[in-house]
């Protein structure tokens, strides 16, 4: 009996030690923040002292890469450690993200997130802020794509994304679609009615009244649909949820960052005695831009700078809570952005609403370095050397194996994990990235290959195609607001466009067989690697197909207190706390 009791005590002590040795995780993700925005990456005018403090107190990754230059696929890769094409989270059409809350696409249940594996290890898990990976499949109660179905025990935030349409007076991301699907048909109908009326008045053509009636009815239907869309889009798509319940519809921007930050701090306090995972996914700095009274008009970069500085304040608040609770030395903190800055974001008045990608070409929605090279900061005092800089290629997919292994969970063996554990690199056990090759997708389409050969300082990058920037000489695709990935919007290259990023990080001077003696050899190795990679990608259902991204009325959520399609309620406190 004594032997049994002793054995139980030893097991309990071993379990306690294992639990206490596992770190907490605070993963901070900005939205559309450029690598040239934080001070620690060279910005001299935006004030980001708290983000900069993460760099001073930990490691700064200078070649940290988003797995996709768009929100939805990049976040899918971040959560699963896999290229988004493996999960069907890469569009084959122009629309590469979810725009409606009542869509049926999303991160499949078959995918395994790091949150799920940590939850299985006894971690308390929360996602606060933006999700953008779907909500429902078949009905509005299944929540098959919801954060709570993917390993998060608590969710408070926006199930889709922040858009200009969510904030009155900020314009619309649907301007081109409205022009094509509503304004042009209305003009055609108006012209048809006028022409038929003149012909009838001149006696040249007998037009039955029924024709006029049908054309007027059709025009009324088009106009009614347009007005209905403009009126109802905001309440039906821009709302906050707490777990499965809508808490504010439509979403209010008043003290929004303060409210989400306060809730994140409360989550840390509630779980200070147990291992926890917090993903704080900021709505900043995606348009519509917003900031509270304490930050509005205070920066040197207009509304965009105000939003960046408010987000930096939030980072500081989270770090203060960790220090206050003596958790800082036992918590791995990671800060990044889901992709590069959106350079085409310019208001009708000409005010830039997008950020800076520093010296790098391009931006959000394309695979030039400005679209995929993002801030990457990792802090864990006593484990990761303060002030460390790592210039090796790393990916936001690497967070999956890094976090999972530190939490004591084995990696899934039934699937390919494309991310690599960062800890050997962060702790100096390795000097080179485990990513010899990385593959850059523009939505569904393999766009470029990156190669960092062993025993070489070169980082080769070969483009199979590039977007057609417009107007000529611009650094983006301004007429379409983002660059597209196929058809007449791109230029295919044969042979591929080759750069050595170690010598030409701005991607200004493509190499040729004349300027690079090993040109054919290098391209041959990269194309062979691409072929091997493509053979590992299995065909899966397309979660971003037209059928999966379109609005489905039977999936539309509306707060319980609403009795009609107005969908209005507010169960959130405006002072930075949440009522439950």
Residue 288: strand pairing partners = none
C-alpha to C-alpha distance for 308 and 30, rounded to whole angstroms: 9
Cβ contacts of residue 174 below 8 Å, gap of 6+? 165, 229, 233
- Among 64, 132, 156, 353, the active-site one is 132
How far apart are the C-alpha atoms of 433 and 9, rounded to whole Å? 42
Concerning whether 533 is annotated as a catalytic residue, the answer is: no
Q: Which of 74, 395, 77, 115 shows the shortest CA–CA distance to 278? A: 115
What sections of 427-473 are H helices per DSSP? Answer: none
Q: Is 15 a catalytic residue?
A: no
Active-site position among 40, 71, 238, 567 = 71
Closest by alpha carbon to 41, among 375, 405, 392?
375
Give the CA distances from residue 377 to residues 35, 56, 190, 300, 399, in Å, rounded to whole numbers and listed in that order. 11, 9, 57, 24, 12
Distance CA(100)–CA(549), nearest Å, equals: 7
Compute the distance between CA of residue 164 and CA of residue 170 in angstroms, rounded to an integer: 5
CB atoms under 10 Å from CB of 396, counted, come to 27
Spell out where 313-387 has E strands: 331-337, 376-379
- Within 205-301, residue ranges assigned H as helices are 209-237, 256-270
Please count the other Cβ atoms lying within 10 Å of the Cβ belonging to residue 535. 8
How far is the C-alpha of 277 from the C-alpha of 168, rounded, in Å?
A: 35
Q: How far apart are the C-alpha atoms of 338 and 33, rounded to whole Å?
A: 8
Give the integer Cα–Cα distance in Å for 336 and 422: 14
* Residues involved in catalysis: 71, 132
């Amino acid at each position: 009996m004594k032997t049994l009791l002793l054995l139980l005590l030893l097991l309990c002590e071993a379990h306690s030690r294992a639990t206490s040795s596992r770190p907490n995780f605070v993963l901070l993700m900005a939205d559309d923040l450029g690598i040239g925005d934080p001070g620690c990456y060279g910005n001299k005018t935006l004030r980001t002292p708290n983000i900069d403090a993460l760099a001073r107190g930990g490691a700064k990754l200078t070649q940290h890469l988003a797995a996709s230059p768009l929100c939805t696929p990049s976040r899918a890769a971040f959560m699963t450690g896999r290229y988004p094409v493996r999960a069907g989270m890469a569009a084959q059409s122009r629309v590469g993200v979810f725009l409606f809350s009542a869509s049926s696409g999303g991160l499949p249940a078959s995918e395994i997130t790091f949150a799920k594996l940590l939850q299985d290890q006894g971690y308390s898990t929360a996602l606060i802020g933006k999700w953008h990976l779907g909500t429902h499949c078949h009905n509005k109660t299944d929540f098959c794509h919801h954060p709570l179905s993917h390993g998060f025990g608590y969710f408070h935030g926006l199930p889709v994304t922040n858009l200009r349409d969510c904030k009155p007076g900020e314009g619309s991301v649907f301007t081109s679609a409205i022009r094509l699907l509503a304004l042009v048909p209305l003009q055609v109908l108006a012209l048809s009615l006028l022409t038929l009326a003149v012909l009838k008045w001149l006696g040249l053509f007998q037009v039955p009244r029924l024709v006029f009636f049908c054309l007027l009815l059709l025009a009324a239907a088009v106009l009614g649909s347009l007005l209905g869309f403009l009126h109802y889009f905001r309440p039906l798509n821009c709302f906050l949820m707490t777990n499965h319940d809508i808490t504010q519809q439509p979403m209010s921007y008043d003290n929004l960052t303060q409210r989400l930050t306060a809730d994140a701090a409360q989550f840390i306090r509630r779980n200070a005695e147990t291992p926890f995972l917090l993903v704080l996914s900021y709505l900043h700095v995606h348009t519509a831009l917003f900031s509270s009274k304490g930050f509005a008009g205070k920066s040197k970069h207009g509304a965009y700078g105000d939003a960046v500085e408010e987000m930096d304040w939030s980072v500081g608040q989270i770090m203060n809570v960790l220090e206050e609770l003596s958790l800082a030395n036992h918590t791995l903190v990671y800060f990044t952005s889901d992709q590069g800055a959106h350079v085409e974001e310019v208001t009708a008045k000409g005010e830039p609403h997008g950020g800076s990608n520093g010296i790098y070409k391009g931006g959000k929605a394309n695979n030039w370095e400005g679209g995929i090279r993002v801030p990457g900061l990792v802090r864990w005092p006593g484990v990761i050397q303060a002030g460390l800089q790592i210039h090796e290629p790393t990916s936001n997919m690497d967070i999956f194996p890094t976090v999972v292994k530190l939490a004591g969970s084995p990696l899934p063996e039934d699937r390919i994990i494309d991310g690599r554990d960062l800890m050997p690199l962060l702790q100096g056990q390795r000097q080179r990235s485990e990513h010899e090759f990385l593959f850059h997708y523009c939505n569904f389409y393999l766009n470029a290959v990156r190669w960092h050969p062993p025993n070489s300082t070169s980082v080769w990058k070969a483009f199979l195609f590039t977007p057609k920037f417009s107007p000529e000489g611009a650094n983006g695709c301004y007429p379409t607001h983002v660059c597209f990935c196929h058809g007449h919007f791109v230029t295919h290259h044969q042979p591929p466009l080759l750069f050595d990023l170690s010598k030409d990080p701005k991607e200004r001077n493509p190499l040729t067989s004349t300027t690079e003696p090993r040109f054919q050899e290098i391209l041959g190795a990269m194309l062979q690697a691409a072929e091997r990679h493509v053979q590992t990608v299995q065909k899966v259902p397309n979660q971003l197909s037209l059928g999966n991204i379109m609005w489905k009325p039977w999936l539309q959520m509306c707060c319980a207190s609403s009795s009609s399609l107005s969908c209005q309620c507010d169960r959130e406190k405006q002072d930075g706390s949440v009522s439950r």
